[in-house]
Amino acid sequence: MRPSPIAASRSCSRVEFASGLGALANYVGERTVLGPSYCLEPEVEPDGELAPGLNVLNVDVLAGPPPRLLDKLFDLVISIEVAEHLTRDRHESLLPCLRSCLYP
């Protein structure tokens, strides 16, 4: 059986857009060493303790400029089940926003 890409990955920085309670980010963080990593969720606080290296930012990056803390590139950008929660007028800005945070 091949190892999981998450378990086999080197230490890297991650950002998850609309992370909800942070379950996916925590799952990844508990299985690999995280560089500076962030969960971006405008309205929800995580339920419980987060994995080491994982931080929550209560910010809506599609509503205005992202915090300067995000003025860097990340190794991995995660966005699961987000588009269906956005109004259609915000769909066009989602993908460029995600791409702008990711190393080429």
pLDDT recorded at residue 79: 84
Number of domains in the chain: 1
57: closest CA among 104, 92, 95, 101? 101
64-100: pLDDT as tens digits: 887 888 888 888 888 887 878 888 888 888 888 888 8
7-49: pLDDT as tens digits: 555 678 888 888 887 888 888 888 888 888 888 888 887 777 8
Residue 38 sits at the vertex; the CA angle it makes with 63 and 44, to the nearest 5 degrees, is 60
Residue 22 sits in a domain whose CATH number is: 3.40.50.150
CA-atom Rg of the chain in angstroms: 14
Q: Which domain holds residue 16?
A: 5-66+75-100
Beta carbons of 50 and 25 less than 8 angstroms apart: yes
Q: What is the pTM of this model?
A: 0.75
Distance CA 21, CA 18 (A): 9
22-31: pLDDT as tens digits: 888 888 888 8
